[in-house]
Amino acid sequence: MRALRSTIRAGLRARADATVRAGLVTLIPGARAIGVPVPAMRSFAAELRAGNRTLPLASLADVMDALAAGRVREEILVGTFWLARYGRQLETLPWRRLARWLPALDNWALSLCGPLLADPSPNVRKAVAWALRQASQHDAGAVYAFLRARAAVVPRGVMREGAAKLPADHRSELIERDATPRGLAGRDVREGGG
């Protein structure tokens, strides 16, 4: 697993962009960032998956433990994108395992969630909703602002589940704003809608 983590680090450094890094550091003060654009990270995660098709989910979860411990934004995102490719197998991971990664997400969970809102995978949407719920326990105001600013693009189920731990007035405002139909983008996270 150490070799795989080294491969991830080297691949990300090769894709780094100093301008992207400067923007991230400005946007997320204190962030440990290399400066790799999200599309490049998605592509890299797909390459990693293609080159490691037989890697068991449990092994990737071990790698994710190490990536989360390092708290480097791009490493965690690549790990997350790669994990998403396991699809329904992700349901076999116990929540307590995922909870190990929360401390790394606390500082920038919202920046992680932003690019994932458009992901069509029901499992990714469940993960985004879960991350928002967890983040709201640490900074409810930031989660409220995040959801409010993106109300037009947040899938309905993600909105409902992500706002679940917010104060009642904020939660009801977001749910009411979300009541307008948006087609497939609003399908339910709990029902596995895409």
Query: Are 27 and 85 in the same domain?
Result: yes
- How many domains are contained in the chain? 2
Q: What is the pLDDT of residue 179?
A: 65
Q: What is the pLDDT of residue 57?
A: 93
Please identify, among 59, 80, 104, the residue that sits at the C-terminal boundary of a domain: 104
Query: Are 98 and 119 in the same domain?
Result: no
pLDDT above 60 (res 185): no
| pLDDT tens by residue, 119-169 | 788 878 888 888 888 778 777 888 898 899 888 888 989 999 999 999 999
Q: Over the chain, what HEC string results?
A: CHHHHHHHHHHHHHCCCHHHHHHHHHHCCCCECCCCCHHHHHHHHHHHHHHCCCCCHHHHHHHHHHHHHHCEHHHHHHHHHHHHCCHHHHHHCCHHHHHCCHHHHCCCHHHHHHHHCCCCCHHHHHHHHHHHHHHHCCCHHHHHHHHHHCCCCCCHHHHHHHCCCCCHHHHHHHHHHCCCCCHHHHCCCCCCCC
Structural domain for 55, as ranges: 1-104
Q: To the nearest whole number, what is the mean pLDDT of the chain?
A: 82
Please identify, among 55, 80, 104, the residue that sits at the C-terminal boundary of a domain: 104
| pLDDT tens by residue, 39-64 | 899 999 999 999 999 999 999 999 99
Query: Are 115 and 192 in the same domain?
Result: yes
Query: Are 113 and 57 in the same domain?
Result: no
Q: Mean of the pLDDT values across residues 175-181?
A: 69
pLDDT above 50 (res 188): no
Query: Are 53 and 11 in the same domain?
Result: yes
Q: What is the pLDDT of residue 112?
A: 64
Query: Are 144 and 192 in the same domain?
Result: yes
Query: Are 99 and 115 in the same domain?
Result: no
Most confident of 8-17, 24-33, 78-87, 131-140: 8-17
pLDDT above 50 (res 30): yes
Q: Between 123 and 34, whose confidence is greater?
A: 34
Query: Are 74 and 139 in the same domain?
Result: no
pLDDT above 80 (res 189): no
Please identify, among 40, 72, 104, the residue that sits at the C-terminal boundary of a domain: 104
pLDDT above 80 (res 111): no
